[in-house]
Structure 1
Amino acid sequence: MGGLTFVDVCSGAGGLALGLEQAGFEPRLLLDDDEVPVETLRANRPRWNVLRADLFTFDPAEHPESYDVDLLAAGLPRVRSSATARRVDSGLEEQLLKATIYLVHAIRPRAVLIENVPELTHADSHEAFREFARTELDHLGYTFSWFVMNAVDFGVPQNRKHGVLVAVRQQWADAFRPPVPTVKEPTTVGAALASSMAARGWADASRWAAQADQPAPTLVGGSKNRGGADLGPTRAKKKWATMGVNAHTVGDTVPGPDFIWDPELGRDNMVKITVEQAALLQGFPAEWGISGLKTARYRQVGHATPPPVGKALGRAVAEALNSDSPAFTAG
């Protein structure tokens, strides 16, 4: 079998797609309805076929390249969870989950990958969607599994749990195994960001990095209706404060040579994480640029699937599809 192919919907900043590319998949089509993430994708991968379109109105018949693919991938906007308990619930995220399953009907990939909050795999509040997905995918001839991954187990310097649905056509399903952790020791915030913190000559970067001796809490991108960028809810902000980081905002630049780091003096004497550093904490390579103004850029980063998670999932799916099972027959 030749190179594996995929369609990616709600692509955002491209974290899941980049990870799948690293796992050996070639994108046929990437889809997002927001102009700014589309700019991000096109700037980083000009050769990718990126379409700005609404998933609800997307017609694969108008884009035949979306047919006969190995994988349909979706890192969808995260549904209501314990971390977003106070958010106004529009139901949009649940509708996008169902729209992705309906798209399976149309393009019939060999495998389906949906990434979202860990609660999606087990919480009573999501039982209706799990039953919907089970009924539809079983009818179409897929065997599926739900499981939870923590990005920190795959080299990402962040405690970030993901609820994952992988559905594989029955003739390859027995060969699928969820990814196993690739690292034994977590990468800390200090280890991930020490070099960037010192980039403008700040002499205390090493001292700060020694205190930032744990993975980051989960980065939260927030919604378009929300205010400016910050590093998450109150509990996360307190965790950041123990690392000498002011999590109430996102920085414009890393500290300069004259910056005095003294957390006991308050927020003004704590470091601020920049959008570029947040991207590093999500496992993006340093060369992956994020388009837009600061808040829009941070939102893209916070919503992204870490590429190392996408890579691990891609490798697990590829191993199943490249197994000695019968050859694929479309339709």
Structure 2
Amino acid sequence: MSGGDGAYASVEICAGAGGQAVGLHNAGFSHRALIEVDPHAAQTLRYNTEKQGWRRCEVLEEDLTTFSAADLEKRIQTEDAKKLALISGGVPCPPFSMAGKRLGADDERDLFPAMLDMVDKLRPRAVMIENVRGLLDEQFRAYRDQIKSRLEGLGYTVVFWKLLEARNFGVPQLRPRSILVAMMKSDAPYFIEPSGASKETTVADALEESMRQRFSAAETRTRDEANQAFAQWLAKAKAKNSVAPTLVGGSKKHGGADLGPTRAKRAWEELGVDAHGVAEPLGQTKDEERDLFGPRGPKLTVAQAALIQGFPEQWKFVGRKTAAYRQVGNAFPPLVAQAVGEAIFEALNAADRKETPPEPPEATLVIGERRLELSAG
């Protein structure tokens, strides 16, 4: 499915560089507002939404600690605010990340309350929130229960709160994310969990064409030498035949961009990629020895890192190299967002058509080596 200007209007908070927005647009939702505090990411959203012709989509560069649902209602058309089908967002991960202090609700960056306040005020038919896998740890059970209780008190049913692995949805990367979906009680019975892609996409699949272009454009090697270097990279990537490790965007507190910690760098090297930095864009390389012909293999450009996240090639990232890479590294893979978005879209559609709700799936309880099929009723 592809859409974007249909009947189901949506608003997204913490939109970043647009990974979730791209996926939900392709699932058929029509964005009315994308809210993002980072100026580089907001510029990326403005550039692409205008370039892609996303009509009626406002990009609002706002801080959700001070920007409220009432403020949003003043910035978008009144009818849109009253008839929202979906509020989505990737609220900040550090409060729940293994890489942080895991302060949860005590972390000043926790924006779940702001998200739920917006849901309370605007009452969309569905809510979708993505975060790191750590949110599903036992440590945060009480916090999850609070979120669920708040949503239930507002008339929603949490129909889905699980870990989805990006590689299962055609993304050439290991990237587990916790996804929460809540729907109004009248719509909830129609929700069917998203299914994965039929085939895994590997790093070789994702990067073959862009690597061919980069090596073909080399100026410090003969055509034969460049072709041979490309063939060596491709053979190594195909021999490994796997997805990439998780891209890490990092924060403004750290130095220049690279593709992750030591273990990730070793995994990239097995794929023929030098993860110690990010290359200049195609056609702008000043040091081919560094970017393309180093002993560890070629470095990735920002555009290639975006392919590893599953972004479409036409989605461009605004800002200098490090700022642009951080937008990519911190993104939510569009293909995962699309799969969840399609499940929500189809549920809303089925409810509007007054179809008979699907039978609840049977739950399976495993005790020792016995498997008991339990009726969901």
TM-score, normalisation: structure 1: 0.89
Shift of 1:199: 1.0
Specify the code of the residue in structure 2 equivalent to 1:236.
Answer: A
Partner of 1:241: 269
Shift of 1:238: 1.2
Shift of 1:128: 3.3
Map 1:178-327; keep pairs closer than 5 Å: 178-184=193-199, 186-200=200-214, 201=216, 202-203=226-227, 204-212=229-237, 213-253=241-281, 268-324=295-351
Task: Return 146-155 or 245-254, whichever deviates more.
Answer: 245-254
Map 1:2-81; keep pairs closer than 5 Å: 3-46=7-50, 47=55, 48-64=57-73, 65=76, 66-80=81-95
- Rounded to whole Å, the distance in 2 between the matches of 1:79 and 1:138 is 26
- Rounded to whole Å, the distance in 2 between the matches of 1:67 and 1:104 is 12
- Rounded to whole Å, the distance in 2 between the matches of 1:51 and 1:227 is 28
Per the alignment, do residues 91 and 82 of structure 1 end up closer, same or farther by CA in structure 2, a change over 3 Å counting?
closer
Map 1:49-198; keep pairs closer than 5 Å: 49-64=58-73, 65=76, 66-80=81-95, 83-85=98-100, 91-93=107-109, 95-121=110-136, 123-144=137-158, 145-184=160-199, 186-198=200-212
**2:113 alignment partner, SS class:** helix
**2:242 alignment partner, SS class:** coil
Unaligned runs of 5+ in 1: none
- Rounded to whole Å, the distance in 2 between the matches of 1:307 and 1:6 is 16
Unaligned runs of 5+ in 2: 1-5, 217-225, 355-377
- Rounded to whole Å, the distance in 2 between the matches of 1:58 and 1:210 is 51
Per the alignment, do residues 39 and 179 of structure 1 end up closer, same or farther by CA in structure 2, a change over 3 Å counting?
same
- Rounded to whole Å, the distance in 1 between the matches of 2:102 and 2:162 is 25
Per the alignment, do residues 272 and 92 of structure 1 end up closer, same or farther by CA in structure 2, a change over 3 Å counting?
farther
**1:72 alignment partner, SS class:** strand
Deviations 1:53-97 (A, max 9, x none): 11121122233234420000002232355651579998244x212
Task: Check conservation: 1:155, 1:182, Cα contact below 8 A.
Answer: yes
Structure (1 or 2) with the larger CA radius of gyration? 2
Shift of 1:259: 6.3
Deviations 1:244-263 (A, max 9, x none): 2111211114698x9689x9
Task: Check conservation: 1:114, 1:164, Cα contact below 8 A.
Answer: yes
Task: Provide the aligned length of Structure 1 versus Structure 2.
Answer: 319
Per the alignment, do residues 52 and 234 of structure 1 end up closer, same or farther by CA in structure 2, a change over 3 Å counting?
same
Cα RMSD between the aligned structures? 2.6
Specify the code of the residue in structure 1 equivalent to 2:297.
Answer: M
Deviations 1:79-126 (A, max 9, x none): 355651579998244x212221221111111110001112223x0222
Task: Check conservation: 1:6, 1:29, Cα contact below 8 A.
Answer: yes
Specify the code of the residue in structure 1 equivalent to 2:130.
Answer: E
Per the alignment, do residues 323 and 131 of structure 1 end up closer, same or farther by CA in structure 2, a change over 3 Å counting?
same
Task: Return 274-283 or 173-182, whichever deviates more.
Answer: 173-182
Shift of 1:206: 3.3
Task: Check conservation: 2:11, 2:32, Cα contact below 8 A.
Answer: yes
Specify the code of the residue in structure 2 equivalent to 1:49.
Answer: E
- Rounded to whole Å, the distance in 2 between the matches of 1:139 and 1:274 is 47
Task: Check conservation: 1:117, 1:161, Cα contact below 8 A.
Answer: yes
Deviations 1:181-204 (A, max 9, x none): 0223x2111111111112131313
Per the alignment, do residues 313 and 217 of structure 1 end up closer, same or farther by CA in structure 2, a change over 3 Å counting?
same
**1:133 alignment partner, SS class:** helix
